[in-house]
C-alpha cells in the first residue's frame, strides 16, 4: 500500500498524474422536504484514481451516503444534484436513466451495509449473478454459470459450485456480504462503491471482509470508494481519505498523513474520540452535537464545537485550501499543530 | 435486471427539534379527495344533528295536494307518494341511517378491539383459540345473518345492526391483532416491561396509541359498509319501518312509484347513499396516507 | 451497599429457546443460547461482556432482567435468588435492576412525551403527585445532560444520541443498583459514543451503580470495564482484568477478537501480527463437539475436538477455558502472543490447516 502512495506522489511531482477514474467537482445536493429545500451536500470535490481505495469518512448527516448515491444517479425522489461527476471522460451528472443503467453494475458497482438490499430473496444467488453477467456482458447461460462459480470462489465462499444453487437466506451475514461483493464484481467494474459494508457484521467477520476487499484491490486494480465512520477500517484498507462534515469536505489527505497529522480540528476530534485497543488513552468526546441541516451555523459549520475557534471562523463560509497533495477547510490550519492517532 | 436500486438504510434528513412533523390533520387535508370527503361528511353529520331544530323541516307533514310533485321553490326535491317533503325526509333519514351504521360499527369495535389487543399482545394459545372463533364468525354472510336475526326476533333496525356489528367484529379483530403483533417486537414494549409495566398498562398505554392509524381507517371502512347493509335491509323491508325514514326505506318506497314519480324521488336516496359511502372510503384512503410512514428515524 | 461487596452472583446459568422444527412433523428443538456461565459483579463495578453473534451475551443480559426464562443455574442478587421468581416479586425488584437497550430509535414509545417515557418506572410502582413526578424526571434529565424543559417533546424530535440519553434517564430514574447496558452505544456515531460512555461512567461515579456492559466492541468495553468476560457459543472462554484480557489474551478467540479490531494507524496495522479467522461464529443451533471454538482455532489440538475445556485459573488474575493452558505442548510458559509473533499473519485456509503468512 505504501509503495502505491509513494508512486502516486512521485507521479504528482513529475506532473504526470493520469486522468482520474472518477472526478467529482462542485457537487451539491438539495432535498425538498415538507415544503422547504435543504442543502445536504455542498460543493463537494474529490478524485479517485485507478486502483486506489478512497475512504469517504463521516458521521450521520455528513452527506457521504447522498454523495455516493448521486454518482450512480440513485438519489431519492425530491433530491436534486448539481455539479460535475466525471467518470473517465464521461459526464454522469444529468445522464438519462438508460445510459446510467448501462454503467450501473458494469463500470460502477455498489455494495450496501445490508447485503439483502441488493439481493432478491426469491432467486438463487447463482441465478442473480448469472443474470447480471448475461445482461451486461452478453454471456451465454453456460458461461454465465461458470462465471458465477468463479466469482463465489474469488470471494472465498467454500464449495462454490454447490452454493450457486442456494437462496440468500441460506447464507449467514458475513457470507451474504461476500455474495453481495461477488455480484458487484461480476462485470469487473472499474469502481466499487461500498457503503459501510462491514458495519453490520461481527468483528471477526469484519476483519475477513476487509481482508477480502484489500486482496481484491491488490489483485484486480479495482478502485474503491469506501464509505465509513470507522477509522480502523480506513487504516486497514484505504490509501486516501476524504473527511466530510455537515455536507462539506473538510479534509482530504493520504491515510498515513491523515493519521500522522490531521489538519482539520474535526478530524483530530474524531481520532481522539475513538476508544483504542492498543493504547490506554481515554476517548475525548467532541463537545456539542452534529447540528441539524436546518441549523447549520454561520461561517465554519464546525465552529461551535471547535476548540480552536476564533471570531473570524464565525462570519463567512470557509473555502477549501490546497496544500501539497492535501486539502483542508480551515482558516487556521497553518498555525495549529493537531494531534494524530499514529 | 438485478441492479441494486434501493438506497442504503438510514438515509434521511432530520427536522429541527421543536418543529414537529406536519400535523396529522393538515396532512390529511392536503390531499384533495379526502379533504372534500371530510368536509362533506362533516356537513352531513352537522345537518343530521341540527335537523329537529330547523323550522320548516318536517318529515311527517303530509300535504295530499302535492302528492308526487316535482321540485319547486321551497321543496327542492319535490314530494313523495303521500305528499311529504323529500328534503325533510332525506335529512331525517340520515339520522337513522348514520345512527344505525354507528351502532354496528361500535358493536364491532367493542368486540374486536379488546380481543384483538389481547390476542396480538399475548399471542400463544389464547391467540390461537380466539382466532379460530373469529375465523368461524367471518364465514357468515352478513346479510343472510341479519335477515335470520330479524326474522327470528322482530323486524327493526336495531337488532339487525347489532347482528351486523357482530359480523364485522372479526375484521376489527384481525386488523388490531396484526397491528399489535407487529408492535410486540418493538423495543419500547420490552422497555416498558423492564420499567415494571403490567400487561394491561402496556396494552392500553403503549400498544393502543400506536395502532391509531389502522383503527381509524377500519372505523371509516366499517361505517361505509354498514351504511350499505342498512340500506339493503331496509330496501327489502326488514330494516327501518314506516313512518320512520332511512335512505334504504325511502328507496324502497320510491321503486314502487318509479313510473309516475319525479326523478328526484328515486334518485335522491341513491345519490345520497353513494356519496356518503364514497366519502367514507375516500376518507379512509386519506387516513392511510396521512399516517403514512411515521417519522421515527 | 458498599463498594466491593458482591452484588450479583451468577452460577451455571443456562438459557434455551424452543426452535420450531422444520416440515410438517418437525419436532420442536431446544436451542441453548447460554450453556452454563458463571460470573459475579461487585457494587460499583463494571463487568464487560464481549462476544459476537450467537455468543449468548444478549440472552445473558435479558435473563438478569427476567425477560426470558433461564432453564437452569442460579442468579443471586443482593442475596436473593432471582430464578423462579413470580412476576410480582420480579416487578418489585425493578427499581434495583434496570436496562438500557441498543436501539435508541425503537426503545422509546413514539406516542409518548419524554416526561411520560422517563417517568414510567415510577408510574408503575409509586403514587406520585404531579409536581413530584416532574421533579423526579427533571432531575434524571439533568443528570444525563438534557434540558428538563424538553420533557414535553416527543422522541422523534431528538437525535440518536439524545434519545439514548433519554433512555438512560429512564433507567436511572429510581437510582437502581445494577444496570445492564445491552449494546447501549453500538448504534451511535463515533463522537456520540464517546459522550454516552463518558456519561455512563459519570453516573456510576455519582450513584455507585454497577454495570454489565454488553458489547461487541472490545475497545469501548476495555475503556469502561474493570473486568471483561469473553463469550463464545454460549460459554465464557476467558475472564480477567480488562487490560490483561486486551493486551495479553490467553484464549485464541480473544486473541482473534483483539486482532480483528483495527487500530487507526496504517503503519501499526501492517505491523501487527493478525489472526483472521475462517468461517462464521459458531451457531447455537449446532455447536461443535468438544471445544466450541475448535473448528476456527489456529492452535487446535486433537483433544480440542472431543473434550470441552473447563475454566481454569491463570497465573495472574483471570480464568480461561482452553486446553492450551493445561495440556498444550507449545504453551507451557509461552504466551499466545509469543506463539503468534513467530508468524506475522495466521489465516486458517479452506482445508482447515493453519498457514503462515
Q: Is C34 helix (H, G, I), strand (E, B) or coil?
A: strand
Q: Could you give the dihedral angle defined by the CA atoms of residues C139, C140, C146 and C148, in that order, rounded to the nearest 10 degrees? A: -40
Distance from CA of B124 to the nearest CA of C (A): 13
Other beta carbons less than 10 A from residue B281's beta carbon: 17
A65: contact with B, CB 8 A cutoff: yes
Distance from CA of B288 to the nearest CA of A (A): 18
Q: What is the pLDDT of residues B175-212, one digit of tens each?
A: 999 999 999 889 999 999 999 899 999 999 999 999 98
Other beta carbons less than 10 A from residue C88's beta carbon: 8
How far is the C-alpha of C51 from the C-alpha of C58, rounded, in Å? 9
Contact A69, A90 (CB under 8 A): no
Contact C216, C61 (CB under 8 A): no
Residue B147, pLDDT above cutoff 60:
yes
- Write down which chains contact chain C via at least 3 CB pairs under 8 A: A, B
A106: contact with B, CB 8 A cutoff: no
Give the model's pLDDT for residue A16.
52
How far is the C-alpha of B92 from the C-alpha of B90, rounded, in Å? 5
Beta pairing, strands C97-100 & C178-182: parallel
Beta pairing, strands C345-348 & C274-276: parallel
Give the model's pLDDT for residue C190.
85
Cell of A282: 481515554
CATH class label, B79-291: mainly alpha
Higher pLDDT, C95 or B149: C95
Q: Which residues of A touch C257 (CB under 8 A)?
A: 203-204
Look at B13 and A118 and tell me if their CB atoms are within 8 Å: no
B2: contact with A, CB 8 A cutoff: yes
Distance from CA of B10 to the nearest CA of A (A): 8
How far is the C-alpha of C229 from the C-alpha of C238, rounded, in Å? 6
Report, in angstroms and rounded to the nearest whole number, the Rg of chain C calculated over CA atoms: 22
- CB-facing half-sphere around the CA of B194: CA atoms within 13 A: 35
| B258: exposed, middle or buried (Cβ count in 10 Å: 0-12, 13-18, 19+) | exposed
Cell of B103: 351502532
Beta pairing, strands A248-254 & A321-323: unpaired
Higher pLDDT, C355 or C113: C113
- Long-range pairs of B205-209 with CB within 8 A, sequence gap ≥ 24: B205/C112, B206/C109, B206/C111, B206/C112, B207/B117, B207/B120, B207/B121, B207/B180, B207/B183, B208/B117, B209/C109, B209/C111, B209/C112
Q: Which residues of C touch B297 (CB under 8 A)?
A: 105
How far is the C-alpha of A239 from the C-alpha of A215, rounded, in Å? 14
Higher pLDDT, C343 or A167: A167
Q: Which residues of C touch B187 (CB under 8 A)?
A: 101-103, 106-107
Residue B265, pLDDT above cutoff 70:
yes
Domain A1-107+189-342 of CATH type 3.40.50.300: yes
How far is residue A112 CA from its own chain's centroid?
A: 11
Q: Which of A59, A174, A235 sits opposite C266 (nearest CB)?
A: A235
Distance from CA of A100 to the nearest CA of B (A): 11
Cell of C320: 480461561
Tens place of pLDDT for every residue, chain A, 342 residues? Answer: 444 445 445 444 544 567 889 999 999 999 987 778 888 999 999 999 998 999 999 988 889 999 999 998 888 888 899 999 999 888 998 888 888 888 888 899 999 888 888 889 999 999 999 988 888 888 888 899 999 999 998 888 888 888 899 999 888 878 889 999 998 988 889 999 999 988 878 888 888 888 888 888 888 888 999 999 888 889 989 999 999 999 999 999 999 999 999 999 999 999 999 888 888 788 888 888 888 777 888 889 999 999 999 998 888 888 899 988 899 999 998 888 888 887
Q: Which residues of B touch C167 (CB under 8 A)?
A: 191
Ranges for all domains in chain A classified under CATH 3.40.50.300: 1-107+189-342
Look at B22 and A118 and tell me if their CB atoms are within 8 Å: no
Q: How many residues does chain C have?
A: 357
Amino acid at each position: 500500500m505504501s509503495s502505491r502512495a509513494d508512486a502516486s506522489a512521485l507521479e504528482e511531482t513529475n506532473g504526470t498524474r493520469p486522468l482520474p477514474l472518477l472526478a467529482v467537482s462542485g457537487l451539491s445536493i438539495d432535498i425538498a422536504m415538507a415544503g422547504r429545500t435543504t442543502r445536504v451536500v455542498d460543493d463537494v470535490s474529490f478524485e479517485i484514481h485507478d486502483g486506489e481505495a478512497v475512504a469517504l469518512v463521516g458521521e450521520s448527516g455528513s452527506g457521504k451516503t447522498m454523495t455516493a448515491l448521486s454518482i450512480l444517479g440513485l438519489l431519492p425522489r425530491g433530491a436534486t444534484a448539481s455539479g460535475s461527476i466525471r467518470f473517465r471522460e464521461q459526464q454522469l451528472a444529468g445522464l438519462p436513466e438508460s445510459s446510467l443503467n448501462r454503467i450501473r453494475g458494469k463500470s460502477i458497482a455498489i455494495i450496501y451495509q445490508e447485503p439483502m438490499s441488493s439481493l432478491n430473496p426469491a432467486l438463487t444467488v447463482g441465478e442473480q449473478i448469472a443474470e447480471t453477467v448475461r445482461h451486461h456482458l452478453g454471456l451465454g447461460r453456460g458461461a454465465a454459470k461458470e462465471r458465477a462459480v468463479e466469482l463465489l470462489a474469488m470471494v472465498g465462499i467454500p464449495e462454490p459450485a454447490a452454493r450457486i444453487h442456494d437462496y440468500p437466506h441460506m447464507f449467514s451475514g458475513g457470507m451474504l456480504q461476500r455474495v453481495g461483493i461477488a455480484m458487484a464484481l461480476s462485470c469487473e467494474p472499474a469502481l466499487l462503491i461500498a457503503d459501510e459494508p462491514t458495519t453490520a457484521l461481527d468483528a471477526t467477520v469484519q476483519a475477513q471482509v476487509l481482508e477480502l476487499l484489500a486482496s481484491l484491490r491488490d489483485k484486480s486494480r479495482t478502485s474503491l470508494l469506501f464509505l465509513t465512520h470507522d477509522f480502523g477500517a480506513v487504516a486497514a484498507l484505504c490509501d486516501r481519505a476524504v473527511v466530510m462534515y455537515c455536507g462539506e469536505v473538510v479534509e482530504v489527505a493520504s491515510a498515513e498523513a491523515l493519521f500522522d497529522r490531521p489538519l482539520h480540528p474535526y478530524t483530530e476530534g474524531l481520532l481522539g474520540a475513538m476508544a483504542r485497543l492498543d493504547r490506554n488513552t481515554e476517548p475525548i468526546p467532541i463537545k456539542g452535537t452534529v447540528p441539524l441541516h436546518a441549523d447549520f451555523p454561520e461561517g465554519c459549520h464546525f465552529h461551535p464545537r471547535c476548540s480552536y475557534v476564533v471570531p473570524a471562523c464565525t462570519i463567512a463560509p470557509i473555502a477549501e485550501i490546497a496544500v501539497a497533495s492535501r486539502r483542508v477547510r480551515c482558516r487556521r490550519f497553518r498555525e495549529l499543530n493537531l494531534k494524530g492517532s499514529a | 435486471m438485478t441492479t441494486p436500486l434501493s438506497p442504503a438504510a438510514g438515509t434521511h434528513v432530520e427536522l429541527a427539534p421543536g418543529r414537529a412533523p406536519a400535523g396529522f390533520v393538515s396532512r390529511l387535508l392536503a390531499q384533495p379527495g379526502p379533504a372534500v370527503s371530510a368536509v362533506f361528511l362533516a356537513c352531513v353529520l352537522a345537518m343530521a344533528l341540527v335537523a329537529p331544530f330547523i323550522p320548516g323541516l318536517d318529515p311527517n307533514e303530509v300535504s295530499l295536494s302535492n302528492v308526487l310533485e316535482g321540485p319547486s321553490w321551497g321543496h327542492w326535491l319535490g314530494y313523495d307518494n303521500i305528499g311529504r317533503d323529500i328534503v325533510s325526509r332525506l335529512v331525517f333519514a340520515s339520522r337513522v341511517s348514520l345512527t344505525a351504521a354507528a351502532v354496528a360499527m361500535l358493536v364491532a369495535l367493542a368486540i374486536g378491539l379488546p380481543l384483538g389487543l389481547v390476542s396480538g399482545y399475548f399471542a400463544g394459545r389464547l391467540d390461537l383459540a380466539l382466532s379460530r372463533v373469529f375465523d368461524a364468525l367471518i364465514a357468515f354472510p352478513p346479510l343472510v345473518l341479519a335477515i335470520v336475526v330479524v326474522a327470528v326476533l322482530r323486524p327493526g333496525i336495531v337488532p339487525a345492526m347489532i347482528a351486523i356489528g357482530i359480523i364485522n367484529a372479526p375484521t376489527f379483530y384481525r386488523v388490531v391483532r396484526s397491528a399489535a403483533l407487529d408492535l410486540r417486537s418493538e423495543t419500547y414494549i420490552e422497555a416498558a416491561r423492564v420499567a415494571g409495566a403490567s400487561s394491561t398498562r402496556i396494552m392500553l398505554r403503549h400498544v393502543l396509541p400506536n395502532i391509531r392509524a389502522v383503527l381509524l381507517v377500519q372505523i371509516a371502512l366499517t361505517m361505509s359498509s354498514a351504511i350499505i347493509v342498512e340500506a339493503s335491509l331496509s330496501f327489502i323491508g326488514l330494516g327501518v319501518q314506516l313512518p320512520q325514514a332511512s335512505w334504504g326505506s325511502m328507496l324502497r318506497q320510491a321503486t314502487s312509484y318509479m313510473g309516475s314519480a319525479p326523478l328526484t324521488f328515486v334518485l335522491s336516496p341513491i345519490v345520497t347513499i353513494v356519496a356518503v359511502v364514497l366519502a367514507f372510503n375516500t376518507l379512509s384512503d386519506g387516513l392511510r396516507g396521512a399516517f403514512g410512514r411515521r417519522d421515527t428515524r | 451497599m458498599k463498594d466491593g461487596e458482591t452484588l450479583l452472583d451468577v452460577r451455571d446459568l443456562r438459557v434455551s429457546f424452543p426452535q420450531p422444527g422444520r416440515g410438517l412433523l418437525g419436532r420442536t428443538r431446544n436451542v441453548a443460547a447460554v450453556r452454563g456461565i458463571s460470573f459475579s459483579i461487585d457494587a460499583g463495578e463494571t463487568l464487560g461482556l464481549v462476544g459476537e453473534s450467537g455468543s449468548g451475551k444478549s440472552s445473558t443480559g435479558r435473563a438478569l432482567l427476567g425477560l426470558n426464562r433461564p432453564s437452569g443455574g442460579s442468579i443471586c442478587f443482593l442475596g436473593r435468588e432471582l430464578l423462579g421468581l413470580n412476576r410480582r416479586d420480579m416487578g418489585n425488584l425493578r427499581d434495583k435492576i434496570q436496562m438500557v437497550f441498543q436501539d435508541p430509535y425503537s426503545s422509546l414509545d413514539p406516542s409518548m412525551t419524554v416526561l411520560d417515557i422517563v417517568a414510567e418506572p415510577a408510574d408503575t410502582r409509586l403514587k406520585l403527585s404531579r409536581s413530584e413526578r416532574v421533579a423526579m424526571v427533571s432531575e434524571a434529565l439533568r443528570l444525563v445532560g438534557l434540558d428538563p424543559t424538553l420533557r414535553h417533546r416527543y422522541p422523534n424530535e431528538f437525535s440518536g444520541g439524545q434519545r439514548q440519553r433519554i433512555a438512560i434517564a429512564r433507567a436511572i430514574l429510581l437510582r437502581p443498583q445494577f444496570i445492564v447496558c445491552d449494546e447501549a452505544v453500538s448504534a451511535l456515531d463515533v463522537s456520540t459514543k464517546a459522550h454516552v460512555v463518558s456519561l455512563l461512567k459519570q453516573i456510576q461515579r455519582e450513584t455507585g451503580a454497577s454495570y454489565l456492559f454488553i458489547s461487541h466492541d472490545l475497545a469501548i468495553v476495555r475503556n469502561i470495564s474493570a473486568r471483561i468476560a469473553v463469550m463464545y457459543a454460549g460459554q465464557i472462554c476467558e475472564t480477567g482484568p480488562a487490560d490483561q484480557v486486551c493486551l495479553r489474551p490467553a484464549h485464541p478467540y480473544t486473541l482473534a477478537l483483539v486482532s480483528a479490531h483495527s487500530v487507526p494507524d496504517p503503519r501499526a496495522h501492517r505491523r501487527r501480527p493478525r489472526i483472521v479467522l475462517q468461517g462464521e461464529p459458531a451457531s447455537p443451533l449446532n455447536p461443535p463437539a468438544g471445544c466450541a471454538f475448535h473448528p476456527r482455532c489456529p492452535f487446535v489440538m486433537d483433544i480440542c475436538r472431543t473434550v470441552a475445556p473447563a475454566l481454569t485459573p491463570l497465573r495472574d488474575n483471570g480464568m480461561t477455558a482452553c486446553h492450551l493452558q493445561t495440556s498444550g505442548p507449545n504453551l507451557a510458559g509461552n504466551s499466545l502472543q509469543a506463539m503468534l509473533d513467530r508468524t506475522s499473519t495466521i489465516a486458517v485456509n479452506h482445508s482447515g490447516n493453519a498457514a503462515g503468512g
